[in-house]
Amino acid sequence: MVFELNPHDRKYTKEHEWVKIENGIATMGITDYAQHALTDIVFVELPEIGKHAQQFKAFAVLESVKSVSDVYAPVSGEIIEVNSSLPDAPEKINNDAFGIGWIAKIKVKDEKELDNLMSAHEYDEYLKKSSH
């Protein structure tokens, strides 16, 4: 199976989330690999704006035709925006996981947490190892 190349301008988690930092704001979503594994996403439970996300803790839920999966925060901080179009169009995640399918924006509490994440190259290697 061929997945969209993982963009090099972001970091990745072992649970297949991505995060892109701009001016202290982390935009995050799930990877192309994750959306393929989930198959057709039919429901999205977004986190609440103003709530505090904690790195590697569940803060959103995706439901697909196959399963229900937690989405884990790649960084800690305050949730300042959510992709409010997803509840009515959860397929956006399947169609463009790295673009219009983003899930939430988090005001990063500590950018040092990014050191706990993988680069695109490291994530690619992780996928190769975990698929055997």
Question: Could you report the per-residue pLDDT of 61-81, keeping only the tens digit for each?
Answer: 999 999 999 999 999 999 999
Total structural domains within the chain: 1
Domain assignment present for 84: yes
Domain assignment present for 94: yes
Domain assignment present for 88: yes
CATH number of the domain at 86, please.
2.40.50.100
Residue 21, H or E segment? strand 17-22
Q: How far apart are CA 70 and CA 51, in angstroms?
A: 17
Domain assignment present for 3: no
Identify the pLDDT of residue 5: 77
Domain assignment present for 130: no
- pTM here is 0.94
Domain of 87, in residue numbers: 11-118
Q: How far apart are CA 109 and CA 76, in angstroms?
A: 6
Domain assignment present for 129: no
**Contact predicate 118/11, CB 8 Å:** yes
Q: What is the mean pLDDT of residues 113-127?
A: 96
Q: Give the lowest-confidence range in 22-26, 61-65, 126-130.
A: 126-130
Q: What is the mean pLDDT of residues 28-50?
A: 96
